[in-house]
Amino acid sequence: MNRPAYVTPAALGDLISRALQEDLGEGDHSSLASVLPDTQQTARLLVKDHGRLAGMEVAVEIFGHYDPTLHVELLRQDGEAVSPGQVALTVSGNARSILATERLVLNCLQRMSGIATYTHRLNEMLRGTSTRLKDTRKTTPNFRLLEKWAVAIGGGLNHRFALYDMIMLKDNHIDMAGGIRTALERTHAYLKTCSRPLSIEIETRTLEEVEEVLRVGGVQTIMLDNFPLDQLRQAVAMIKGRFATEASGGITEQTLRAVAETGVNFISVGALTHSVKSLDLSLKAVR
């Protein structure tokens, strides 16, 4: 599976470096105390749950970042369905190196696999509709890179990565600016001044706000936040395909399909990254 453009070698390497430093500090005293420096070992990544695997490339990068002499064999691929008892990879080499990287590998893969599993589950609920599932910025600080990558592995779309890659006028922006028209007019002037070709999405809370956005124009996407189903259908009919539509706010597994059937182009779900259960995995030495 191709890496998203935002997963650059520099960004991934920086994340791994900071995470290893956080975990290792001055050294893994447990391993230094009990395992001889030249001990060689093989360990297997065991699957203990049903789900979708994500983070296999990350595991390779972590092992190689810490100790390039470690040999990793991938037995399963990102996005693949897995079940208890399967072996996802083996890693062979210096035992102290395997122990030093074990927890970071597991933390990344368990979290990413949980996100990919839930994203795939919701995508299956949308099957047969034209609506696409998006994530949000409701991510773990310093871990967004991997969480959004996991959404992509699970078949979802990434919304903006951060504050710098698009204009998204939320309710607070609108209220602090003094209204929709003022917020949009200032935004258009700002983009002309800084010469940045950023797309614009604006949040609406009522049908009246949708009407105002349609009058002003100059956006790419209208977000319909916490709209009841009947009002979602009315809003989609009002917009008539002039702009992309995105439903957001409190959408659950129970309401996801009905929201999609209103005809919105996208549904954004913060729970993809902030409320998932990690997939149960473990790394065990081959005895």
- Active-site residue, selected from the candidate residues 44, 121, 170, 205: 170
The yes-or-no answer on residue 284 being catalytic is: no
| Average pLDDT of the segment spanning 205-220 | 97
Q: 61, 102, 147, 203: which is the annotated catalytic residue?
A: 203
Active site residue 186: no
Task: Could you please state the CATH topology (level 3) that the domain comprising 166-269 is classified under.
Answer: TIM Barrel (3.20.20)
Give tens-digit pLDDT for 187-200: 999 999 998 899 99
**Element spanning 234, H or E:** helix 229-239
For 46, 78, 128, 187, the CA distances from 120, given in Å and listed in that order, are 21, 12, 14, 36
Q: Which of 3, 76, 137, 138 is catalytic?
A: 138
CATH of domain 9-123+276-285: 3.90.1170.20
For 233-261, the pLDDT digits (tens) are 999 999 999 999 999 998 999 999 999 99
Which segments of the chain belong to CATH 3.20.20.70? 166-269
pLDDT-derived band at 98 (thresholds 50, 70, 90) equals very high
The yes-or-no answer on residue 277 being catalytic is no
Q: Are 169 and 187 in contact (CB under 8 A)?
A: yes
| Contact between 118 and 272 (Cβ < 8 Å) | yes
Per-residue pLDDT tens digits for 266-286: 999 999 999 999 999 999 999
Could you read off the pLDDT of 38-77 as tens digits, one per residue? 999 999 999 999 999 999 999 999 999 999 999 999 999 9
170 is catalytic: yes
Identify whether 44 is a catalytic site residue.
no
Residue 96 has pLDDT above 80, yes or no: yes
In order of 77, 78, 93, 165, 273, the CA distances from 153 in angstroms are: 10, 7, 29, 21, 13
Is the per-residue pLDDT at 1 higher than 90? no
Which member of 76, 103, 137, 181 is catalytic? 103
Per residue in 108-136, pLDDT tens?
999 999 999 999 999 999 999 999 999 99
Per-residue pLDDT at 212 exceeds 70: yes
Domain with CATH 3.90.1170.20 in the chain: 9-123+276-285
